[in-house]
A and B are shown apart, each in its own frame.
Chain A
Amino acid sequence: MRDFVANRSNPQKLGVLGALVVLLTAPFGGLESVADEKTEPLRLGQQVDIGPFYVTLDKVTQLSDLEPAVSPDVEGAKLVVLKMEVTNHTDRAESSTLVRDAVGGEHTGFVPWATDRGEIVPQVFDVDDATSFNEFINPGQTYTLALVLQQEPETDLDRVTFAIYGYFFREIDPGTLAPNTWVADDPPLVAGHVPIEVKP
């Protein structure tokens, strides 16, 4: 045995050592497949499963005001509205904040709402009744929501990209023992530029 090992080349020895290490980690998940972490291109009308919800981005619009629902609270700012259809496909109610927090982007020119202390957080409205929406969405329920953000008026709309992130389910948080939570995942499920319709 000793001679057999001694006669092997160094690359062969390293290869066997690596295989042994992987085998030894098998009880702890070493042989489990690696999650597919590829980000797909974002398209309008494409249904994305973010974990608790199916989300479909229907349209992105830039406009000056959206009365009576909401108006810019920073002088000169435009509003950008992401209109999306949202369906809870789980068997329990899930918070709409998971949808709100799943959207990101680059070169967006977004400016925070005056009430948000520097953080970029969309205001969410129900498109069908124009009321503010911060709600647990019941199982099987679908809403058309508008995520509304403020934007610098001189933002180059051709450079703006959006991203939609997913969540994974954690039955029990080992730190706090809090049960049944959705945890934000990275990288985004979809990302890219979509046309932004400009209205006065």
Chain B
Amino acid sequence: MIGARVFGALAVVATVAAAQLVTARVPVVDLGGGGPFVRSGELGEPVHLSYADVEVTDVRPAQYLGPPDSTALARLAGGVWVVVSVRLSATTKPVSIPNAWLVDPEGREYLTSTRSSCATNLRVSTGVPTYAVFCFDVPPDRLEGMHFRIARGAFETDQTNNDDLADVDLGVSAKDAETWPATTKAYRSVDYALEPLELTEITLTETGS
């Protein structure tokens, strides 16, 4: 009688333990399944996505970015400002682009800067090109081989899965990675427009301390 009880209790414990092992080791919650469909390209070359065409038209470093309000204080990069100019147009219907980001060769992801006053999220119209400038504050030792990425899903929450994503090699060479951290260039920040954007170099003046 006691043996049967002990056996029953052990059987319950064993079953619960086995269930715990299964739930701990098997991914029960699937947040999206397959990864994004990566469409690769290079600087100056259009990338065709199912919902938009994307072309990185320019990339350059800066030390400072001046806000649109010329009396406001300029933003000094913690590392190097990587300023990426992009031309986008929606293919079949207007599309929201919540973010763009950079990826280094080790897969680390770098977000756009909100304090830069550059573009963060966009509404892109069909057939009417939108010109945007995205600004990233990147550590000086992480510049080489950087890729620009953009998609219509928020990548922080894995919403880029099972959808097209543009991946553009910015062509940042080893030599660029050596020289860019020494830049002293300062540009007026811009976010986006329906006409091609020209980055304007600015001269900074000192304010009182």
Chain A residues with a Cβ under 8 A of chain B? 24, 26-28, 68, 91-93, 126, 128-143, 172, 177-180
Contacts and interface: CB of A to CB of B under 8 A. Distances in A.
Interface in B1-38: 13, 16-17, 20-21, 29, 31
B109 A129 contact: no
Contacts of B208: 68
Given A135-B114, A141-B137, A172-B29, A129 B107 contact: no
Contacts of A129: 73-76
29 contacts: A24-B13, A27-B16, A27-B21, A68-B73, A68-B207, A68-B208, A91-B106, A91-B109, A92-B108, A92-B109, A93-B109, A126-B115, A130-B73, A131-B115, A134-B114, A135-B113, A135-B115, A136-B114, A138-B111, A139-B108, A139-B109, A139-B142, A140-B79, A140-B139, A140-B142, A141-B79, A141-B138, A143-B78, A177-B31
B156 to A, nearest CB: 7
Smallest CB-CB A-B distances: 9 pairs: A27-B17, A129-B76, A93-B111, A140-B139, A138-B110, A139-B108, A91-B108, A136-B111, A27-B20
A134 B116 CA distance: 11
B74 A93 contact: no
A180 B156 CA distance: 8
Interface of B: 13, 16-17, 20-21, 29, 31, 73-76, 78-79, 101, 106-111, 113-115, 136-139, 141-142, 156-158, 207-208
A18 B109 CA distance: 49
Contacts of B158: 179
Contact of A138 (B21, B115, B139): B139
Contacts of B136: 138
Nearest to A92: B109
A179 B157 contact: yes
Nearest to B20: A27
Given A92-B109, A131-B73, A139-B109, 13 more contacts: A91-B109, A126-B115, A128-B78, A135-B114, A136-B111, A136-B113, A139-B139, A140-B108, A141-B78, A141-B138, A142-B78, A143-B78, A179-B158
Residue among B16, B78, B113, B114 with the highest chain A CB neighbour number at 10 A: B78
A91 B106 CA distance: 9
A136 B78 CA distance: 12
Nearest to B17: A27
Nearest to A23: B13
Nearest to B112: A136
A138 B207 CA distance: 28
Interface centre among A134, A177, A179 (most CB of B within 10 A): A179
Given A93-B109, A179-B157, A138 B75 contact: no
A197 to B, nearest CB: 18
Contacts of A180: 156
A126 B107 CA distance: 27
A178 B31 CA distance: 9
A91 to B, nearest CB: 4
Contacts of A140: 79, 108, 139, 141-142
Contacts of A133: 115
B13 A138 contact: no
